[in-house]
Amino acid sequence: MPKTLEFIVGHLPRVTLDEVRRFSNTVEIRNAPAFAAELYAFVQERLESVELPPSMENEVETVEKTLARKTAALRTDIRWVPSQTDIQRGRAVLLEAFEQPHNLPLPDFARLANKSRQQIYKDIKARRLLALNVGPRGRRLPDWQLDPVKRQLTQIVLQAAPEVDIWTLYRALSEPLEGLAGRSPVEAVTADSVDAVAKAVFNVLGVH
């Protein structure tokens, strides 16, 4: 069977009882479900016996070849490698975000959280706290994690996305989202909306 007809037969919708009633004025139907099944089988058999002209079969092959060609064009044999300029520009962006006033040095965060530095390190390792790191500059923690609700949101995201790098999570939590009326998740979250806001973050990250 040509591929086009094979696809049509495989996706042929079932005959419904409402459709069977269209024949009630023409023939006497004693068993509507059985009639619907027989009618469906009959249409399938008729379709399977159809032979497409060579021109249509060639057209199908042409479409498949076109799709294959377009797919191949999206691939490259050469892996992209960032230039030194790209690396420097990316590092400058990270440093700018790292040094924002709301990102606190670890000792300051520990003092405000009334915890020891050792406990903060443990929380970071256990993904209970989000900490940013840029080379030898130490770690900084967003101060929104001093708020219990915002910390809960951050922990949910950290635990559910272990494969996503910290900087990506940081931006997903701190940058405005259209679905949150232009507010960032940490700005929009409330005690009653933690799960809903977390879902919005997961949608951005592609985590399900």
The domains of the chain are located at: 3-73, 85-205
Range of lowest pLDDT (4-13, 15-24, 121-130): 4-13
Using an 8 Å Cβ cutoff, are 49 and 5 in contact? no
Which has the higher per-residue pLDDT, 61 or 26?
Answer: 26
How far is Cα 141 from Cα 130, in angstroms, rounded to an integer? Answer: 6
Cβ count near 131 (within 10 Å):
21
The arithmetic mean of pLDDT across residues 152-163, rounded, is 94
Q: Is the predicted pLDDT of residue 10 greater than 70, yes or no?
A: no
- The answer, yes or no, to whether residue 118 has pLDDT greater than 80, is yes
Average pLDDT of every residue of the chain: 79
* pLDDT above 80 for 45: no
Model confidence at 12, pLDDT cuts 50, 70, 90, reads low
Q: Which residue has the higher pLDDT, 25 or 141?
A: 141
Strands 132-133, 103-105: pairing kind: unpaired
DSSP line for the chain:
--HHHHHHHHTPPPPPHHHHGGGTTTS--S-HHHHHHHHHHHHHHHHHT----HHHHHHHHHHHHHHHHHHHHT--SS-----HHHHHHHHHHHHHHHTSTTEEEHHHHHHHHT--HHHHHHHHHTTSS--EE-GGG-EEEEGGGGSHHHHHHHHHHHHH-TTS-HHHHHHHHHS-BGGGTTB-HHHH--TTSHHHHHHHHHHHHT--
**Residue 171, pLDDT score:** 92
pLDDT bin (cut points 50, 70, 90) of residue 88 is low
pLDDT reading at 3 higher than 60: no
- Residues facing 139 on adjacent strands: 133
Comparing 41 with 150, which gets the higher pLDDT?
150
Instruction: Give the per-residue pLDDT at 67.
Output: 64
Q: How far apart are CA 104 and CA 101, in angstroms?
A: 7
pLDDT higher at 16 or 187? 187
Which pLDDT belongs to residue 96? 83
- Residue 189 CA to residue 196 CA, distance in Å, equals 9
C-alpha 92/C-alpha 97 separation (Å) is 9
pLDDT at 206: 86
Q: Is 86's pLDDT higher than 60?
A: no
Mean pLDDT of 39-67: 63
Percent of the chain past pLDDT 90, that is, above it, reads: 42
Q: What pLDDT is stored for residue 156 in this prediction?
A: 94
